[in-house]
Amino acid sequence: MTTPAAASTASKRRIVDAVFRLVARGGVGEASLRKVAEESGINIGSVRHYFGSHEGLMVAAAEEVGARMARRLHDALPKTAGHLDVAGRRELIEAVCRAVLPAPEGDLAEAIVLIELITAARLRPEFRPLAVRMGTDLRAVLRETLEAAHVPDPGVEAERLTALVGGLTFELVYPHGSNDGELMAEVLRRHIAGLIPE
């Protein structure tokens, strides 16, 4: 028997999945309460009850992007701390970067939602705190990783790596970019090799 809490969780998941599909198809403006209700098959009163507003839907979508990245990061990070050689330090940074980058062969909806929210924040002040928080969180993860890999000047290098990860994400999502996964991986590896020379 399904409990009310489980039913609520399942409904919220359907709603957030609907937001992802709508934003991927038509941008942030496409995910109105009415359209999300239609896409998810859940009545608009319930959508409003769970998320309150369009902004609430976008916050939930961004939090889901963050949760997915956090799960991948958890899987990517070594389970035991210890001394890492040059190869191990490089692998650590690459694993973290791959966890926050979309997979070229996979579903790009997550990356599209992320970029659409950041883009919307330029003109819509209600999304700016969310965009700033996402950027701050990414920089913190990358800086901690660079510190763990003993990269000199981790603050500056975290900014450079943030720019690279952001650029690669943009290239995968937008039509003018490259969707060559092997080339993207090589670009990332070469940058990391420059951070940790032999």
pLDDT digits (tens, 9 = 90+) for 145-185: 999 999 999 999 999 999 999 999 888 888 776 777 788 88
Q: Quick one: pLDDT band at residue 105, thresholds 50, 70, 90?
A: low
- Confidence band for 106, pLDDT divided at 50, 70 and 90: low
Give pTM, 2 decimals. Answer: 0.82
Q: pLDDT digits over 119-130, tens only?
A: 888 998 888 888
Domains and CATH numbers, the chain: 4-195 (1.10.357.10)
Q: What is the pLDDT of residue 2?
A: 66
At 6-31, the pLDDT tens digits run 778 899 999 999 999 999 899 888 99
Long-range CB pairs of 5-11 (<8 Å, 24+ gap) are 8/50, 11/40, 11/42, 11/46, 11/50
Bigger pLDDT: 176 vs 54? 54
- Answer yes or no: is pLDDT of 80 > 60: no
- As a whole number of angstroms, the distance between CA 104 and CA 115 comes to 15
Q: What angle do CA 182, 187, 189 make, to 5 degrees?
A: 90
Nearest Cα residue to 164 out of 196, 144, 133, 186: 186
User: Following CA atoms 74, 75, 79, 85 in sequence, which dihedral angle do they give, to the nearest 10 degrees?
Assistant: -110
Task: From 57, 62, 47, 54, select the one nearest 11 (Cα to Cα).
Answer: 47
Average pLDDT along the chain: 88
Q: How many CB atoms lie within 10 A of CB 83?
A: 7
Write down the pLDDT at residue 189. Answer: 96
Q: What is the pLDDT of residue 52?
A: 92
* pLDDT, tens only, 174-183: 877 677 778 8
**Number of residues written out for the chain:** 198
